[in-house]
Amino acid sequence: MTTTRVRLDAVHAGHDGTDVLCGATLDLRAGAVTALVGDNGSGKSTLLGVLAGTHPPRAGRVQHEGPQRPAFVPQRSAVPDALPLTVLQTVRMGRWARRGAWRRLRREDHEAVAHCLDRLDVADLAGRALHTLSGGQRQRVLVAQGLAQEADLLLLDEPSTGLDTDARAAIARVLTEERDRGRAVLVATHAADEVRGADRVLRLHGGHLSEETAS
């Protein structure tokens, strides 16, 4: 039975006193991949921030099922090149949501990290510095970090922009797997193949959300 993982009720949010979300209302369902589409500047990233809990709404209500924080996968360009992290360290950070940033990882944490590296085909890059990777490799590592959180809600901000076919296919495969595990997945995208592969399509326009027919 499909359940709601998160609900937005008449949410207003924006930047510098200007709202880009103007009464946005949304139910995100478990066991579904939802594509979020809209023009540049329409507020897709703001909506993701509200859902992730990193961008407090000015008005309205956000209701999550359960206490667990959503997993958020940013665009690779949002991660500074100067950050001195290896691929393995980056994915291990995904376990902080469960263990805390300063607590020692347990065996099950290390096993979860290794599994996520394998799922995104980046296990052989574990010792590489994140900033030395290609765009496709780096984005797959960020998705692996998101998966390592094992959250019931997975949010992705244009994960396939500028990526090659193999990287896009790897990301699409794991998103389908997460959906089949009962997760709710929301992907902000301009990519036609991601929209076609989604179970639902939501359009953000004029600060409001509307549902379109998934092809």
> pLDDT tens digits for 121-180?
999 999 999 989 988 898 999 999 999 999 999 999 999 888 888 888 889 999 999 999
What pLDDT shows up at residue 64?
85
Give the chain's domain count: 2
User: Which tokens belong to 168?
Assistant: 């896009």
Residue found by looking up tokens 């509307």 in the block = 210
Same domain for 207 and 191: yes
Identify the domain containing residue 22 by its residue range.
1-70+153-215
**Which helix (H) or strand (E) is 174 found in, with range?**
helix 165-180
Q: How would DSSP label each residue in 20-60? A: EEEEEEEEEETTEEEEEE--TTSSHHHHHHHHHTSS--SEE
Of 131, 150, 169, the residue at which a domain comes to its end is: 150
Q: List, for the chain, all residue ranges whose pLDDT scores fall below the cut of 70.
A: 1-2, 4, 66-68, 76-80, 82, 100-102, 214-215
Residue 167 belongs to a domain with what CATH number? 3.40.50.300
Of 135, 150, 165, the residue at which a domain comes to its end is: 150
Same domain for 170 and 146: no
Same domain for 85 and 25: no
- Helix, strand counts (H, E) of the chain: 7, 9
Q: What is the mean pLDDT of the chain?
A: 89
Question: In sequence order, what are the residues at sequence separation of 6 or more whose Cβ sits closer than 8 angstroms to the Cβ of residue 26?
Answer: 6, 7, 8, 202, 209
